[in-house]
Amino acid sequence: MKEISWCIVSQKKHNPESLKTNEKGKLVMQKKIGTIVFLVTGLSALFLSNMGGILTSQAADKSIVEVQKNAAKSQVAEISRTFGAVPGTPDGVLLMQVHALLGKLPVTMPGGEQDTPAMIDLGKKLYFEEGISINKTQSCNSCHPIDNNGIGADNRKTGKGATGKFGDRNDPPTMNAGFQIAQFWDGRAATLEKQSQGPPLNPIEMGMADGEAVVERLKSMKHYLTDFKHAFPGEKDPVTYNNFAKAVAAFERTLISRGRFDHFMDGNKQAITEQEMEGMRTFINVGCVQCHSGPNLGGMTFQKIGVFHEYANKADFGRFKVTNLESDKYVFKVPMLRNVTLSAPYFHDGQMGNLSEAVDQMGYLQLNRKLKDEEINNMLRFFTTLADMERTTAPPIGTKAASALWVPPLMKDIPQGEEGDFIRYGALLLTDTYAQLGSGAKDEKMHFSGNTLNCTSCHQDNGTKQFGLPWMGVSQAYPQYRGREDKVAGLEERINGCFERSLNGKALAVDSREMKAMVAYVDWLSKNMPKNISGLGTPKYEGPNRKADVNKGEEVYSRFCMSCHGVNGDGYQSMSAGSSGSRVAPALWGADSYNNGAGMNRLLTNAAFVRSNMPLGTLWNQPAITNEDVYDVAAYLSSRERPQMNGLEKDYPKLEKKAADCPYPPYADAFSQEQHQYGPFQAIKDAQKKK
């Protein structure tokens, strides 16, 4: 067995260092691989064990690449035959499948039988202690932040050490780390205790000379003498490097996250949406579950990156540095997927800037598949259910409840015949705008949008989501007066406003077939909806009365938004999309995003939308981002470069009607352009009321 090095364990405590064997020892382990059970939950253990047998039996007379590919194909086929998650199957059936393939997360982490409250309290202090670094500037929390609702990932490409140097690997999350088979990307530490002793002595990270230097530093801080005595009673000299490690590990064993997925696993079928369930089925059927197995959806095995296609970065040999086995070149621990939407960027080297790209690359590198946009998007929806609820739940929005009459119609209910075909055409134009009415359209006469966005980039769930800028009920709201044009206008003009601003393009003829089709779809969605029904637009948002902090907004973006939209805000175009230009995740700034005249470029408008809809899958009444943070991240988005629209000085013929957060002049007041863009806004609003 020369290529894949799966980490084999029994019910006994596993030591990754045991894989440092000579060739003879390696052969003995190969003979046992088919009978030793992987310590993963459910029937995934059986599949992984069988895979080991396949590798062992075929390795003698076939190239290792061929063996590995055949084994991967065999396992995917076996999973599909045994537990194929058929699209549309009842959620109860899906629940049984996921219980078998993944299993429930245990209540406590292994290894904590001797942990005490005093050890945990000490460990928490040590986790945040900067005095254990060479220049007293770096703590565990510096690279693995858990304050401010962090999940122990710093959202950097690679970790930054005490002296400003960067390492060569991405910092994995601390949450749930103790459930893994080993620590670090290469598994060089068997336990949390061993892991916690590494960074303080790493010259790039904390830079301390040795364990004794750490102990001396701790003893110089008098309060630790008492804390160590309480945590390790009866020991003559409790301040030791080993006890430091035990305390930190005890605290880290308390860092367990639970998301909506866990509520689903407990039998609450309402905890996740149908699209999220479809993403779960896709995750199983595509074959992701063969590596991302167990309750953490990963962290239980080692795998080569690049099974079918070579990974671009060949500089890091991975586990080879630990074992010196040729078969361990480019082998890394499979990362956990819990909280994956909060831990961008991705892979051991942080090269994948957003989750869409990471999923797409994994399908290609590991499964030899170019995933469809729908498959990627559905899996992204599923991944949102793995985020820790406590860390992604902000105070509820104070607005009246949405109407119980809000029941989105189903596309299958569109009537057959010419009328229905016309409605479906309108739906296609609004959901696939770039390909139908943008540069992706073959007929240049149909090029109306000027970027890669679709109308549904803003209008969530195909225009049916409550407070997600829905189209349901919109027909009853038009014609209406709009201050930007200072006139009463119909729905057609409103749509053209989006084409000129949000889509950075040009208007369609109001009597064109395409315009009429889009209006027909909106009319169909709005059929039988009461006028001014609650759920239109976005919930009312009142931001803090201060100037927004763009730098803080960038931090919020890194934590909540970068996983989908990337570090450069340009979203992601899948490999299967080819040169079409359509994106799984839309661009938030740059040439392919909305221009500066779009409503989404207004801070308060953007904040209201983000608060009730983002990250992906957020419900309007269960926001994930706080009022303060959403205010700052909206300012950060407004600060980024984007296309400039001509003629904005003609907007708002009556300047006194101009919105307080409109970021471009002229204004009817004496407040600066900067204040109109970033706040504080209350003084502007008060001045407007006096006029």
**CA nearest 280: which of 388, 375, 373?**
375
What is the per-residue pLDDT across 516-543, written as a single tens digit (0 to 9) for each?
999 999 999 999 898 888 899 999 999 9
Verify cis geometry, omega within 30 degrees of 0, for the bond prior to 345. yes
Compute the C-alpha angle 569/573/574, nearest 5°: 140
What is the homologous superfamily of the domain 16-105+259-390 according to CATH?
Cytochrome c-like domain (1.10.760.10)
Q: Active site includes 235? A: no
Higher-confidence residue of 650 and 15: namely 650
Domain ranges of the chain: 16-105+259-390, 117-252, 411-526, 550-583+601-641+654-689
The percentage of residues in the chain with a pLDDT greater than 70, rounded to a whole number, is: 85
CATH topology of domain 550-583+601-641+654-689: Cytochrome Bc1 Complex; Chain D, domain 2 (1.10.760)
CA 356 to chain CA centroid, nearest Å: 9
pLDDT at 16: 40
pLDDT digits (tens, 9 = 90+) for 378-422: 999 999 999 999 999 888 766 556 566 788 999 999 999 999 999
In this structure, the strands spanning 302-304 and 480-482 are unpaired
- Catalytic residue, chosen from 129, 205, 252, 500, is 205
Bridge partners (DSSP) listed for residue 183: 189
- Residue of 186 and 2 predicted with greater confidence: 186
What's the pLDDT at 383?
Answer: 97
Amino acid identity of 232? F
Is the sign of the CA dihedral 204, 205, 207, 210 positive or negative?
A: negative
Q: pLDDT confidence of 140, banded at 50, 70, 90?
A: very high
* Residue 612 near residue 397 (C-beta atoms within 8 A): yes
Query: pLDDT tier at 127 (50, 70, 90 boundaries)?
Result: very high
CA distances from 439 to 167, 257, 501, 528, 578 (A): 42, 44, 16, 36, 14
Show contacts of 83-91: CB within 8 Å, 24+ apart. 83/43, 83/284, 84/284, 84/285, 85/280, 85/281, 85/282, 85/284, 85/285, 86/281, 87/278, 87/281, 89/281, 91/269, 91/277
pLDDT (0 to 100) of residue 531: 86
Question: Residue 395, preceding bond cis, omega within 30 degrees?
Answer: no
pLDDT for residue 664: 97
d(CA 625, CA 399): 16
Say what the pLDDT of residue 269 is: 85
Average pLDDT over residues 568-573: 94
* pLDDT of 80: 40
**Average pLDDT estimate for 200-204:** 97
Task: Identify the pLDDT of residue 634.
Answer: 98
Kindly indicate the confidence band of residue 53, based on its pLDDT and cuts at 50, 70 and 90. Answer: very low
- Return the pLDDT at 3: 31
Q: Do domains 16-105+259-390 and 117-252 have the same CATH topology?
A: yes
Which H helix or E strand runs over 488?
A: strand 487-489
State both tokens at 77: 């086929």
Average pLDDT, rounded, for the chain? 87
Largest CA distance in the chain: 88
Pick the CATH number of 411-526 from 1.10.10.10, 3.30.830.10, 3.30.1490.270, 1.10.760.10: 1.10.760.10
Query: Whole-model pTM above 0.85?
Result: no
Return the CATH class of domain 117-252.
mainly alpha
State the pLDDT confidence band at 83, using cuts at 50, 70 and 90. Answer: very low
Instruction: Report the DSSP beta bridge partners of residue 352.
Output: 346
pLDDT tens string 30-48: 323 232 233 333 333 333 3
pLDDT in tens, 227-274: 999 999 999 999 999 999 999 999 999 999 999 999 999 999 889 988
